[in-house]
Structure 1
Amino acid sequence: MRFDVISLFPDMFSVVRDLGVTGRAYKQQLWSLGLWNPRDFTHDIHRTVDDRPYGGGPGMVMMAEPLEQAVDAARASRSDAEPAPVVLMSPTGKRYDQGVAQQLADSTGAILICGRYEGVDQRFIDRCVTHELSLGDYVLSGGEIAALAIIDSVVRLLPGALNDADSALQDSFNATLTGLLDSPHYTRPDTYQGLAVPPELMSGHHVNIAQWRRRQSLALTARRRPDLIVAARRDGLLSKADEAFLKSLDASVIQP
């Protein structure tokens, strides 16, 4: 079992490597840890990993290239017969639960991506990320705490990690924008690996940008968290334009 972590703050992971149940399991070589800082894959004097978002708005967005090169390095260092899943810690991801923890414990591990700032360039997600996971309906300053929680919850399920082999069987859950999900983010360059920034975000037309983002948010939420659509509708947070757009979506788009 191996976890590779892509993070701007790799020192945070000394907690699971050195302390507690996970630290003991690490010393017993039940699992291993690779740490990769995206700044080590930059090519400018400032080691830049973020830039302003296209279309305007607050915060910064993590750039695609340093993240992808870090993932490539992590993949090259692993000896898995099958490619390891690349998992982004994201509020738009599938809700993490004990069932997912058990699936990971039964596997050879994963590459965990810890985002920061306002988000991650969507083109990196499209090209490299195979899964997105969320701890719940709240926002953290970065993905590190979520990744630490995942590593801890998985490692303790490994045979030999706990003093009492039956202890994990008694754990809980053993054997789940007006309340909507955010829209995708993009930053420089304009075109990355043949993928262009959506033209709406390049238009400079604030009304069109706002409409594009709202529709992306509605479509993503309908597809991944339809319960949030139900809650927003119940609370009167959806406009007539929102409802008309949701009705226009193909049924296959909004399957949970």
Structure 2
Amino acid sequence: MSAAEVEPTVPWMATVLTLFPESFPGPLGISLAGKALEEGRWNLEVLDIRDFARDKHRTVDDTPYGGGAGMVMRSDVVDDAIEASSASPGPLLYLSPRGRLLTQERVRELASGPGARLLCGRYEGVDQRVLDARGVEEISVGDYILSGGEMAALVLMDAVVRLLPGVMGNDDSAGEESFERGLLEYPHYTRPPEWRGQTVPEVLLSGHHEKIRRWRLAEAEAITRKRRPDLWVAYRAERKQGAD
């Protein structure tokens, strides 16, 4: 097949629904992700939810039924914004602290697909009815509270974009990073070889690739066992299953 006959690949598409469109691309507009965006390795579309308000004041929220503090994003307004994004590829994700925790496995799944639609909540969140009606997948980036979904959306997008072909300067390095093998990453060292009385581990200066590989694995296992017992248990179980 000649170069002219090769079918073009469709770039991964991020579609963001937000009340603060000026938040994007934010930090994703710089460094490798920004360069990849300029090169068309991934695309970004941002929809302002306020454009779908139904009154002259562009109201997007209202007081919650049952009382309580804060405001809730209206189901009708959010649903219209979702409908406007329906032609965009990928699953509809709502960034929420009550969602399923974002993992590297889910990131890889998203990176292998055509894209994702990211719904960013504000105030007390989105009316539950629209989430149920649209079958939205709720995703959390951690057990803490943010002011809105925009920062969480940027985290998810960054995690995905860096896995796309041609984005990272060294694609091989991705496989060595935390969570890719079920372990936290091993320590790194560079020049100078001695700093404030601390020296680089001798094995890293040996030039013996197999010894270096074994040292790095042992360090990754030790750090994971100490800092993330949950990951360590899962890692040991997976290794045991693979050995059976």
Band of TM-score, shorter chain: 0.5 to 0.7
Question: What CA deviation, in whole Å up to 9, does each residue of 1:40-62 have, x standing for no partner?
Answer: 01120110000000000000000
Matched residue SS, 1:169: helix
Match of 1:28 among 28, 36, 39: 39
Separation in 1, partners of 2:181, 2:60 = 40
Q: Which residue of structure 1 lines up, in the alignment, with residue 145 of structure 2?
A: 139
Q: Which residue of structure 1 lines up, in the alignment, with residue 240 of structure 2?
A: none
Unaligned runs of 5+ in 2: 1-11, 183-244
When structure 1 is superposed on structure 2, of 146-155 and 19-28 the one drifting more is 19-28
Please tell me whether the aligned partners of residues 115 and 142 of structure 1 are also in contact (alpha carbons under 8 angstroms).
Answer: yes
Q: Which residue of structure 1 lines up, in the alignment, with residue 166 of structure 2?
A: 160
Separation in 2, partners of 1:138, 1:15 = 21
TM-score by length of 1: 0.64
Separation in 1, partners of 2:31, 2:130 = 34
Separation in 1, partners of 2:135, 2:54 = 23
Matched residue SS, 1:75: coil
Match of 1:63 among 71, 74, 93: 74
Distance verdict in 2 for CA 1:175–1:31, change over 3 Å = farther
Please tell me whether the aligned partners of residues 99 and 175 of structure 1 are also in contact (alpha carbons under 8 angstroms).
Answer: no
Distance verdict in 2 for CA 1:175–1:123, change over 3 Å = farther
Total equivalences in the alignment: 171
Name the aligned partner's letter for residue 64 of structure 2.
P
Shift of 1:130: 2.8
TM-score by length of 2: 0.67
Matched, 1:150 2:189: no
Question: What CA deviation, in whole Å up to 9, does each residue of 1:173-206 have, x standing for no partner?
Answer: 1158xxxxxxxxxxxxxxxxxxxxxxxxxxxxxx
Separation in 1, partners of 2:135, 2:55 = 25
Q: Which residue of structure 1 lines up, in the alignment, with residue 236 of structure 2?
A: none
RMSD: 1.4
Separation in 2, partners of 1:129, 1:162 = 33
Separation in 1, partners of 2:29, 2:141 = 23
Name the aligned partner's letter for residue 47 of structure 2.
W
Shift of 1:111: 0.5
Separation in 1, partners of 2:23, 2:30 = 12
Match of 2:52 among 32, 35, 41: 41
Matched residue SS, 2:139: strand
Q: Which residue of structure 2 lines up, in the alignment, with residue 216 of structure 1?
A: none
Shift of 1:129: 3.9
Q: Which residue of structure 2 lines up, in the alignment, with residue 220 of structure 1?
A: none
User: Structure with the greater relative contact order (CA < 8 A, sep ≥ 6): 1 or 2?
Assistant: 1
Structure showing greater Rg: 2
Distance verdict in 2 for CA 1:131–1:113, change over 3 Å = same
Question: What CA deviation, in whole Å up to 9, does each residue of 1:4-62 have, x standing for no partner?
Answer: 00000111113245212211111121110110111101120110000000000000000
Matched residue SS, 2:85: helix
Unaligned runs of 5+ in 1: 177-256
Distance verdict in 2 for CA 1:8–1:129, change over 3 Å = farther
Give every structure 1 segment of 4 or more consecutive aligned residues whose post-TM-superposition deviation is greater than 4 Å.
none
Separation in 2, partners of 1:173, 1:17 = 22
Name the aligned partner's letter for residue 56 of structure 1.
G
Q: Which residue of structure 2 lines up, in the alignment, with residue 6 of structure 1?
A: 17
Q: How does 1:120-131 map to 2 (within 5 A)?
A: 120-131=126-137
Separation in 1, partners of 2:145, 2:112 = 29
Matched, 1:116 2:127: no
Shift of 1:156: 0.2
Q: Which residue of structure 2 lines up, in the alignment, with residue 212 of structure 1?
A: none
